[in-house]
A and B are shown apart, each in its own frame.
Chain A
Amino acid sequence: MEKTVAIELRGITKTFGDVVANKNVDLDVYRGEILSILGENGSGKTTLMNMIAGIYFPDEGHIFINGEEVVIKSPKDAFAHKIGMIHQHFKLVDTFSAADNIILGEKCPKFDLKEEKAKLIEAHRAENEAYENYDEAEHPGPLAYMTKPKFHPEKETKRRLALMPLVGIGRRIKFNWLAKKRADVVQDIANRFGFKIDLKKKIYDMSVSEKQTVEIIKVLYRGADILILDEPTAVLTPQEIEKLFDVLRNMKAAGKSIIIITHKLNEVMAISDRVAVLRKGEHIATVNTSETNEQQLTEMMVGKKVSLNIDRAEPHDVKNRLVVSGLTAVDVDGVKVLDNISFEARSGEILGIAGIAGSGQRQLLEAIAGLYKVKDGTITYFDPNKDDAPVDLRSKTPVQIRDLGVRLSFVPEDRLGMGLVGNMDLIDNMMLRSYRKGFMFLDRKSPKKLAETIVEELEVVTPSTHTAVRKLSGGNVQKVLVGREIAASPSVLMAAYPVRGLDINSSYTIYNLLNEQKEKGVAVIFVGEDLDVLIELCDRILVICAGKVTGVVDGRRAIKEQIGLLMTKTSGDVDENQMSIDELHDEQNIDNDEGGEAL
């Protein structure tokens, strides 16, 4: 099969401040193929695609489309080059119908008054000429009058010229308000590629998958030949994914180039012709899907192990502190976000939770903290102050949990939106945990002391304790939050992505803090994204994928590929995963008694 290159990237580099999002990326996309872009979180997949779609502008490098170098500065430019991107967050007008959303924003063809006038004069002149040269003898028959040219007196021409602006307005009205013709075009496109959708339906009545369909049709309607889909399957059910893939195959057959960003390996294998793997902003390789397997892709995706030299003490005095079993929860749409999750967090241990972003980590921690509604399962806490008496935490509010004497601290992912109040100063933020003490009135003295202690001990850079936390840098905000949570002397400490966005030094401060807590006998739960960190910091690592536990591995013996593979295993049951872990362990000559914990 002969391939023509649709889009070529050469040496694309993009940096945000000090962070290199993409480094010297070369990539080819052919006509009529589906290319998967595979990579971990933060590997620069979306950034790269945004540069093609005109949302970012590359710092260095060249983009060629159909062999010609182009400059894409805005989404408009991208459209001019027939590139369309379907983002993760849809941009649709809720109260409009699907068809209206699709044709929205299309410009009415320009009505050039001068040109139109000239055209009219010319048409009249031509017809008048024909009238004069018309010979009735040449056109015999009773119906000849129908084809006989008409004579346009000068008066008529002038009148019509004068009315010409109204014609322009009329066309505009027809274009904007009587858009049936355009809606028909949209329907044609939908039929051609096999979209099953009612275009008259309003967006607010639509499911996520229908909205996505509207976005795709919109891009096609605008004439895109190169379609970029940013994690299109993240929001879909398996059936919907199958439907989407059928449509994508139809589009491929029609000669469109499709780029799909994903980190689900099974989907990569199912849909794509080729896979481009990115890691830490660099293009590792592009391989034909038929010539590779999941194992190889995972290896390319996670890369070689990097040593970080995080101190890790041997856990001592290990006891079950928090036991979760069969935890199931659903989101507003009724989709299972947590599916039969079971694990135990032990005192004096750091339990890592690994998984692709959005696999249910947030919901899991929030469910434990009493912030997310649980549908099924149990959460049991063993109170160290009461001889490890079990306490049921399921479906309790945060206040009830605290009233039970459970010392549970939680460093949420969204620091300023959940853990802290951005507009309040350090003292008032310290008070979030302690303000309930006392009667009626607030005690600002002890929070002030606490704030001062944290500023001093964790070296928080702040003008004063009266500064609004939103004015602090990311690392300092995190130190304030972690400091406050640790100050509550917890027996369980949960931290979600505590080093996200932090520089190296701040990250190590946080690692040390977590390690200190571990040595104090706290059960630490650490949700992380960097596998190197998880492997070096955690004693055990729980891997979840799409709300399911896919394995528990020993941090000291874990290997990156193994975790990477578990992270991307969406289909298949636990037994299968178990086998793969065993295989990996065998390969590495590691005994696999750890495997029992996966179940």
Chain B
Amino acid sequence: MRSVTGKESKFDAFVDKLKKESPIHIAKRMDAPKWLPIVIRIAAVVAAFLVCAIVTAFFEPSAFGTFFVEMFRGTFGTPRRVINLFWEAAILLLIALAVTPAFKMKFWNIGAEGQVLMGALMSATCIWYLGGKVSEGGLIVLCLIAAMAGGAIWTLIPALFKAKWNTNETLFTLMLNYIATAIISSAIALWVKTGSHVVGIMPNGHLPTINGQDYVLNIIIVALITVLVWVYLRFSKHGYELSVVGESINTAKYIGISVPKVIIRTMLLSGVLCGVAGWLLVNGASYTISTTLAGGRGFTAILISWLAHFNPLTMAITSFLVAFMSRGAAQVSTIANIGGSFADIVTSIFFFIVIASEFFVNYKVKFNFAHHKKNDKKGDSKDESTLSDTSSEEQTTEETTGVAVNEAQEETMSEFNHPIQHAEQTSDERSDNDETQNKEVTE
């Protein structure tokens, strides 16, 4: 830093040049039409399907066509599969709903996995010790209460620490996941004295079936909770308070919201919902307990919540898509003989593309090939290309920060005299151009 060598200043000049003459310009979208994000997202889902099909064809050339067929066969092939699909979507949705209030409050709870597991463990504990001793209905209710308490305790711990000492909730909740897993292992070791360390299907505490089908009641419960959470976030005072806390703690203090109180209350709600998810997993689906019961759904749910921009109703669609992808891909992998991890690959591709599409929702990308034309044939540049040059330059100038603006303008004046002159010659075109520029700026 003591001296600026010639090389460094050359490098700076190179960077400047790159900034100005880059063929791609990225600008933030301001006030895009309402349909645009929806179209982009639908396009992303379609693209994700296509890419998944192509990837499948890599493993099994014959599978390209069968991919689509089997995707649907795996999810909608039989009534049972339809219920399975909806159940998978429902449990993902429920956990996503559980983490959403916290995220809206900008409390980065990534411990849903552990919170669900703790709920499940509490429920399983009730069944293990009280199964057969109390009536079935009473047992189910007891399980529910215990599960809610389990999940709530697991969120209350980081919430209290955050509210009192402002600890980092992300690390805290993540670590609690491992503790939850370890506690479950210990519990299983305590209960199962044989070497298998597997708690078999427990005979008591099953949720009632509807029309002979299990899972249906689960799905109804989740649907109800979805509506409740939506109402809570959108129309209740609590929901309003937590979004104010999430947006600006200073504003919250200014209008007299007690921030610690809101944090603890919201996290309790989050934990209770995770507990319900654990309860549904134990009493309504698997009837057993294991460390892999949540199966990574606690993390997938975070993605679902984010992709839906914390809107419970959109979340229903997202979780359904994710469930569809993973269930369908499982079927494809069975039929095409590709292997169990295939479902994970397909789901990741899906997430990858859909998340990437958010970039295009928020930013517009402009390609500017005219520049390269100009650079290739120096000297005989056409008015058209120079015009687009000036527009793009000035646009980037507007987009850069205040510090850079003047530098850039300065250089535009000195280095790019020649396109500007051209532009002035064709004054009509230039004024049109100006108008569009202004529009872009105001946009």
**Residues on A facing B (Cβ under 8 Å):** 16, 55-57, 59, 73-74, 76-77, 79-80, 105-107, 110, 222-223, 369-371, 397-399, 401-402, 410, 412, 414, 417-424, 428, 431-433, 435-436, 438, 440-442
Contacts and interface: CB of A to CB of B under 8 A. Distances in A.
Given A76-B4, A398-B256, A419-B251, A57 B244 contact: no
B168 to A, nearest CB: 15
Nearest 10 interchain pairs by C-beta: A398-B256, A399-B256, A80-B4, A418-B250, A421-B247, A57-B406, A432-B255, A418-B254, A57-B407, A441-B235
A584 B241 CA distance: 52
A105 B4 CA distance: 13
Interface string B1-12: 111110110001
B2 A79 contact: yes
A418 B406 contact: no
Given A421-B248, A428-B240, A431-B240, A106 B254 contact: no
Interface of B is mostly: helix
Contacts of B258: 397, 399
B281 to A, nearest CB: 30
B247 A435 contact: no
A417 B2 contact: no
Interface in B138-179: none
B418 to A, nearest CB: 22
A428 B254 CA distance: 15
14 contacts: A56-B406, A57-B410, A59-B406, A79-B2, A80-B3, A110-B7, A223-B2, A397-B256, A422-B247, A424-B247, A428-B240, A435-B240, A441-B236, A442-B237
A419 B251 CA distance: 6
A16 B1 contact: no
A73 to B, nearest CB: 6
A56 B403 contact: yes
A107 B244 contact: no
Contacts of A421: 244, 247-248, 251
Contacts of A436: 237
Interface of A is mostly: loop
Contacts of A438: 237
B1 A105 contact: yes
A371 B406 contact: no
Contacts of A107: 1
B253 interface: yes
A442 B247 contact: no
B236 A442 contact: yes
B402 interface: yes
Contact of A77 (B4, B240, B255): B4
Contacts of A397: 256, 258
Chain B contact-residue range equals 20 to 34
A568 B8 CA distance: 45
Contacts of A55: 403
Contact of A418 (B1, B7, B251, B403): B251
A554 B363 CA distance: 55
Contacts of A428: 240
Contacts of A422: 247-248
Contacts of A371: 253-254
A222 B2 contact: yes
B66 to A, nearest CB: 46
Interface of B: 1-5, 7-8, 12, 235-237, 240-241, 243-244, 247-248, 250-251, 253-256, 258, 402-403, 406-407, 410
Given A410-B254, A417-B250, A435 B237 contact: yes
A323 to B, nearest CB: 23
Nearest to A50: B403
Contacts of B254: 369, 371, 398, 410, 412, 418-419
Residue from B243, B250, B410 whose CB has the most chain A CB atoms within 10 Å: B250
Contact of B247 (A76, A106, A399, A423): A423
Nearest to B241: A435
B402 A16 contact: yes
Given A59-B406, A79-B2, 8 more contacts: A16-B402, A76-B4, A412-B254, A419-B254, A420-B251, A422-B248, A424-B247, A432-B255
A223 B2 CA distance: 7
A73 B407 CA distance: 7
Contact of A414 (B8, B247, B250, B406): B250
A186 B5 CA distance: 23
Contacts of B243: 424
Contacts of A223: 2
Contact of B1 (A76, A110, A431, A442): A76
A370 B3 CA distance: 53
B75 to A, nearest CB: 37
A397 B12 CA distance: 54
Contacts of B237: 435-436, 438, 440-442
Given A59-B406, A73-B407, A442-B240, A417 B248 contact: yes
Nearest to A401: B256
B406 A440 contact: no
Contacts of A398: 253-256
Contacts of A432: 244, 251, 255
Contacts of A369: 254
A389 to B, nearest CB: 23
Contacts of A74: 12
A402 B1 contact: no
A73 B403 CA distance: 10
A56 B258 CA distance: 42
B110 to A, nearest CB: 23
Contacts of A77: 4
B309 to A, nearest CB: 12
B158 to A, nearest CB: 24
Contacts of B12: 74, 76
A442 B244 CA distance: 14
A76 B4 CA distance: 7
Contacts of A79: 1-2, 4
A355 B167 CA distance: 37
A417 B2 CA distance: 40
B129 to A, nearest CB: 37
B251 A417 contact: yes
Contacts of A412: 254
Nearest to B411: A73
A106 B1 contact: yes
Nearest to A402: B256
Contacts of B235: 441-442
Nearest to A433: B255
A175 to B, nearest CB: 13
A76 B407 CA distance: 14
Contacts of B4: 76-77, 79-80
Nearest to A59: B406
A44 to B, nearest CB: 15
B4 to A, nearest CB: 4
Contacts of A431: 240
Nearest to B3: A80
A431 B243 CA distance: 12
A562 B390 CA distance: 53
B7 to A, nearest CB: 8
Nearest to A79: B1
Contacts of A418: 248, 250-251, 254
B1 A222 contact: yes
Contacts of A370: 256
A568 B236 CA distance: 50
Contacts of A440: 236-237
A222 B4 CA distance: 12
A556 to B, nearest CB: 34
Contacts of A433: 255
B5 A110 contact: yes
B301 to A, nearest CB: 24
A586 B255 CA distance: 46
